[in-house]
Structure 1
């Protein structure tokens, strides 16, 4: 289990961001070549942000929970943080601030959301929790990402798929992503954002702890403290049934307090990826409507038992 406290998380985050900047990057004169720490020193960052060294030190040590927006904004500018990193800094610096999101409790997708996902017959779609548990997917989403898993597994909390766990710990999923080395940092970045938004989510902390212990690659990426929401972009797949695909994706947070997101995939019109996705959809559509296991119908053969995931 990830036992890092919010103050420790804040200190780690600020230190990694200081380490990636050199004095000359921000217009400071660096005297000499021997520096005890990589990147900016605390006093250099404090100078850039216009705060005292003592105050910044207390902030980095998690001893200034009442930091103002102005101070945090100044530090974000000095560190050249991205918008996602800036928001993450605020979450870590003020864990007790009013309005902070509570740990998500909803563990099922709303019936209306399920109907929406099911209606997207030509679009791979799934519903995810804030910690990336799969609450629902349509047959094409299941066929694309996890045909080797039971189609009804999202309905069973005991073995509900988690896309980040699959990415790091499931060999079938790893084979699904030919550019796994690009996909892994994106997944860790998204988990960092979630951990900042939901610091009291015990299951999220347990997931991070599990991945840290079982995957050295995850642990190495996590230590770098990457932060990016990754709500849209392009993913490369090498599906065992239809071959290579380049699919765009969009992740949209549902308009309620559950923290759930709707994830959808698409292909460029007229591309080979669109043809491959249509072929996969045709295999899904050819399955018996009364089939109790869309995972086996997806492949059309026993090969479905060896299909990858997200």
Structure 2
């Protein structure tokens, strides 16, 4: 529980430092600000709690705030829905009995019908991501556009791991830093939901050792949930293109999400995707000649 309380406290401090006093509607009291963002007493005032109580939360004391208090602090810090959910996840983890040992969650599988759906989207790259940003399935176009996840060993078939540790990913994305940071913030959100998941812990440990960018961004305690957006790429086969993506949480399994990538009609990016589709088309087996009778 102590680790979770520290995680909660670190998140509060980071969020408080990023809150602009003027945007919070606080009058200028003439005092010199020695800290970035809001003071602790200002957050407490906006949230309707005592300064002593809020200070103890930021110190990581073993106290568990109520749902109402978390909502009030979230409003005071102007957290978005993702940030508010992350705070609630962290508090829920402190309320739950601590497991005797860190365990691995059950392996996820993609339903056969969903696999067929991915394969039928022959003109559009599509991925299914699970917990911990694991790539559970990728169609032919996704493998051609990003990386051949289907051929990777199981432990390497992870989007965050790939984008942070692969030299090919760094070269592929024009906005690599933005895309990699988003992956880290998505993983941070997942870690808040499942703090005792051994696979999450091991992945965070590996990335902390192997990636200086990951260590920096992880320490910032930002969370992000990708639902739609764009990615700019320089593909080694078709050159520059921009793809837009939409995310669909799967009915019946909220731990899996379908990422579907499209391009603007009649654009150079659409032309690039069409060329890539032709380039990646499997070679047809030659027809055997009929034997002479």
Mapped to 2, the partners of 1:170 and 1:160 lie a distance apart of 10
Q: Distance in 1 between matches of 2:219 and 2:55?
A: 21
Aligned to 2:32: 33
Moved more, 204-213 or 53-62: 53-62
1:230-241 alignment to 2 at 5 Å? 230-241=226-237
Gaps of 5+ in 2: 97-102, 287-293
Output one character per residue of 1:122-170: Cα deviation in whole Å (capped at 9) or x when no partner.
11112212111212211111111114x6x433xx52x442111111111
For residue 9 of structure 1, what is the aligned residue in structure 2? 7
Between Structure 1 and Structure 2, how many residues are aligned? 278
| TM-score normalised per structure 2 | 0.87
Contact 1:188 1:218 in 2 (8 A): yes
Return the alpha-carbon distance in structure 1 between the equivalents of residues 207 and 2 of structure 2.
14
Identify the match of residue 56 of structure 1 among 31, 54, 57. Answer: 54
TM-score (norm 1): 0.82
- What are the residue-to-residue correspondences of 1:162-241 with 2, within 5 Å? 162-241=158-237
Say if 1:126 and 1:288 are closer, same or farther in 2 by CA, change over 3 A: farther
- The equivalences for 1:34-183 within 5 A come to 35=34, 37-60=35-58, 61-65=60-64, 67-96=65-94, 104-147=105-148, 151-153=150-152, 156-157=153-154, 159-183=155-179
Which whole-Å CA distance do the structure 1 matches of 2:216 and 2:272 have between them?
Answer: 35
Q: Is the 8 A contact 2:5 2:94 kept in 1?
A: no
| Higher RCO, Cα 8 Å, sep 6+ | 1
Tell me by how many angstroms 1:218 deviates. 1.3
Equivalent position to 1:276, from 269, 272, 276: 272
Segments of structure 1 that go 5 or more residues without pairing to the other structure are 291-310
Larger radius of gyration: 2
RMSD: 2.4
